[in-house]
Structure 1
Amino acid sequence: MAWLGGTCGSCAYCRRGDENLCLSPVFTGWDRDGGYAEQLTVSEEFAYAIPPRFSDEQAAPLLCSGIIGYRALKRAAVPEGGRLGIYGFGGSAHLTAQMARHQGAQVYVMTRSESARELARELGAVFVGDAYESPPDPLDSAILFAPVGDLVPAALKALDRGGTLAIAGIHLSDIPPLNYSADLFYERQLRSVTANTRADGEEFWSLAAEIPLAPTTTVYPLAEADRALRDLAGDRITGAAVLRV
């Protein structure tokens, strides 16, 4: 099961196909038992069949990081063969980079972690730099995975005319004031990402199996979830952390 665990099915957003904007949603790990639960229930309509090529360890991050990365990639509107900038390179970003490259995009990665930069190089990024470093070419699209509002102006400035920046996180620190002429003019777009729809999930699983996606994971026993969170906060995890029940 993914982050989106239920919707009302009757509000205007659900009726028009935007169930991730539902007025009465149910989220896994927020409204019902989720990532720290040894047992849970899930509505059949919101459950996914996992392609057999993925082990439990590989599938775990795909149900959140992977699906939301796919949604962010759609929101970023990368043109065919375009240049995609990725800011932050953790659990979701390293999966999104694989999807983008599979679709023909050139990937530029900006992140503060040296181990994440090394992973980006291994995954075929054409440019890898520090979080605030300017890419050598104007970007057609960008996705901000790091929850750092200060990176929004930097990412917007890196966009070419008509480019789109998608912010993938649920949380983001305050965005500094933007200059309309320097940051947004020439039809640059700034978009947020809010959960996934079930259609996103089905499309994602088909793509994940086709590539196939190769998650980089660090596994912790459930009893050491606190250590996993400390390592995550301390930027000591490359790829995605997985709790084994």
Structure 2
Amino acid sequence: MAEDARNIGFYGFGAAAHILAQLAVWQGRNVYALTRPGDIEAQEFARDLGAVWAGGSDEQPPAELDAAIIFAPVGSLVPKALRAVRKGGRVVCGGIHMSDIPTFPYSDLWGERHILSVANLTRKDGEEFFAIVQTAGIQTQTQRYSLRDANIALADLSAGRLQGAAVLVP
């Protein structure tokens, strides 16, 4: 949905973003990672994976974005992302759920900016993605939790205490 965006912003840098950032870098795109304000570890993680810039979501990236993908379920990021994308740019809401999007001035949307949401991916999307994963050499970072520690995993995720993806094992 980000089409051929050269400069792409990732709002939230967790399980999905750490994989897609590697893919975007492999494709020759410039990744700008926007994390929770002050989350230095996540910003360093993003730079380690090839992001050209990483900062807090309360900052403007140093370059105008062609597209932004919002992974965090935080509706207030939508107006921020709209202000960061160029005219004609796209803001893709990539989560399954999101808090309400606050009101914002029409000028943030003006200029043929687009807001899109991802509803479903197809089996074909998955097959195409996994074929690219091997070629691109994508590496995932996971933190294992026993199934009985699922609530700890959720708390760590919510508090920003893990990089990459949480995996529950029996």
TM-score bin, normalised by smaller chain: over 0.9
Partner residue in 2 for 1:69? none
Higher strand share: 2
1:108 aligned onto 2:32:
yes
Q: 1:90 aligns to what?
A: 14
What amino acid is the match of 2:25?
R
- Count how many residue pairs are aligned between Structure 1 and Structure 2: 168
Post-superposition offset of 1:195: 2.4
> Which residue does the alignment assign to 1:170?
96
Partner Cα distance (2:84, 2:151) in 1: 37
Distance 1:240 1:195 in 2: 20
> One-letter code of the match for 2:154?
L
What letter matches 1:212 in structure 2?
Answer: G
Matched, 1:150 2:79: no
1:1-245 equivalent positions in 2, closer than 5 A: 75-79=1-5, 82-112=6-36, 113-180=39-106, 182-245=107-170
> Could you tell me how far apart the structure 2 residues matched to 1:230 and 1:137 are?
34
Runs of 4+ in 1 over 3 A off after TM superposition: none
Distance across 1 between alignment mates of 2:112 and 2:94: 20
Aligned to 1:26: none
Deviations 1:172-194 (A, max 9, x none): 111111222x2111111100011
**Matches of 1:106 and 1:131, distance apart in 2:** 17
* Cα deviation code 1:189-236 (max 9, x no counterpart): 100011211110101100111112111111112222222122112221
C-alpha distance in structure 1 between counterparts of 2:77 and 2:23, whole Å: 23
Consecutive unaligned residues in structure 1, runs of 5 or more: 1-74
Distance of 1:211 and 1:118 partners within structure 2: 21
Whether the 8 Å contact between 1:148 and 1:172 is mirrored in structure 2 is: yes
CA RMSD of aligned residues (A): 1.1
What is the percent sequence identity of the aligned residues? 48
SS at match of 1:108: strand
Which amino acid letter does the alignment assign opposite residue 143 of structure 2? T
Deviation track 1:105-126 (CA, whole Å, cap 9, x = no partner) reads: 1000110122211100101111
Deviation, structure 1 residue 237: 1.1
User: What letter is aligned with 1:225?
Assistant: A
Letter in 1 for 2:3: A
Unmatched 5+ stretches in structure 2: none
